[in-house]
Amino acid sequence: MSAASQSTASMFLRTQFPKYLKLIRFDRPIGTLLLLWPTLWALWLAAEGTPSVKNLFIFSVGVFLMRSAGCVINDYADRNIDSHVERTRQRPLATGDVAASEALILFAGLVLLAFCLVLFTNPFTIGLAFGGVLLASVYPFMKRYTYLPQVVLGAAFAWAIPMAYAAEKATLSTEIWLLYLATLVWTVAYDTIYAMVDRDDDLKIGVKSTAILFGEADKMIIALLQSLVVLLLILVGLHKELSMFYSLSVIAAAVLFVYQQHLIRYRDRDSCFKAFLNNQWVGLSVFAGLVLDYSFT
């Protein structure tokens, strides 16, 4: 490598690379965790507690790559409106620190890396991967056309579930669609809480969300969605004949949902954001229940 090339690479590492890390939310792992936990649920259910190391690696790294890609395409779609929202005004595309063309190249690179990982699974999983890319690509644009973008996000986040299950089993079964629906509904619930943080700004700039659609009924509808999540998780446990540890984990998830309702009772921005973050413990709780259940029963 010439001295000029070394200097260019060094300059990139010092200037643009930190901005790319900010663009993919490297410093904010909550999105990765919310995508990772349901993926691990599916792997544990499919393998009855002993998923392959290969699939654990593929889907753990794949979750990080696809969540990062999702952040990039989301910010690309919102590059002209993020500067008008208090929470997002400092994002790299909104400030001009990263060009739109750079974001598209980064998105394509992250998706390509994730797809390369999927190639080490099986043909069925590879086929399902195209659905995941489609959902991840269209979600950011939905808030312009529908008040239900959170439903599309839920479909995208939950898509890792059939993919992970298929990687272990090369087929899909009833309980995995129950788990898919539980994750979709859960995502709508917690992303509505997240949207409550931006509701005032979104109303000003004309961006749509379930938080706006639900209006004054938001807390009640979120509670109903959370109750449905618990019911669907119970049905998964019954279908798979899981026992005490899993049941306790679902009870713990229900308690966390009650705590979230307490946090959002006044619709305060900071408290709503805290309630959103609390969902990482819901995912961990259910995962811990599955691990313990398959380990000791």
DSSP string, 106-152: HHHHHHHHHHHHHTTS-HHHHHHHHHHHHHHHHHHHHTTT-S-HHHH
Task: Judge whether 17 lies within some domain.
Answer: no
Instruction: Spell 107-127 as b/e; 16+ CB within 10 A means b.
Output: beebbebbbebbeebeebbbe
What is the per-residue pLDDT for 11?
Answer: 64
**pTM for the complete prediction?**
0.94
Say if 3 falls within a structural domain: no
SS3 at position 228: helix
Let me know if residue 9 belongs to a domain: no
Which band of pLDDT confidence, cut at 50, 70 and 90, is reported for residue 179? very high
Structure confidence at residue 81 (pLDDT): 86
pLDDT at 7 over 80: no
Say if residues 163 and 131 touch (Cβ distance below 8 Å).
no
- pLDDT tens, residue by residue, 55-94: 999 999 999 999 999 999 999 988 888 887 878 888 999 8
Whether pLDDT at 236 is above 90: yes
8 within domain boundaries: no
pLDDT for position 1: 54
Asked, for residue 243, whether it belongs to a domain, the answer is yes
Within a domain: residue 16? Answer: no
CA distance 297 to 245: 9
Its domain, for residue 221, covers 23-296
Here the CATH number for the domain that contains residue 104 is 1.10.357.140
CA distances to 20, 151, 272, 280 from 180, in Å? 31, 12, 25, 17
Domain count, the chain: 1
Can you give the pLDDT at residue 198? 87
* Average pLDDT over the chain, rounded to an integer: 93
Rounded CA-CA distance 119/101 in Å is 27
3-state SS class at 164:
helix
Q: Quick check: is 170 in a domain?
A: yes
14 belongs to a structural domain: no
Helix axes 174-205, 269-277, angle to 10 degrees: 160
pLDDT at res. 115: 95
Confidence at residue 10, expressed as pLDDT on a 0 to 100 scale: 63
Q: What pLDDT was estimated at residue 16?
A: 80
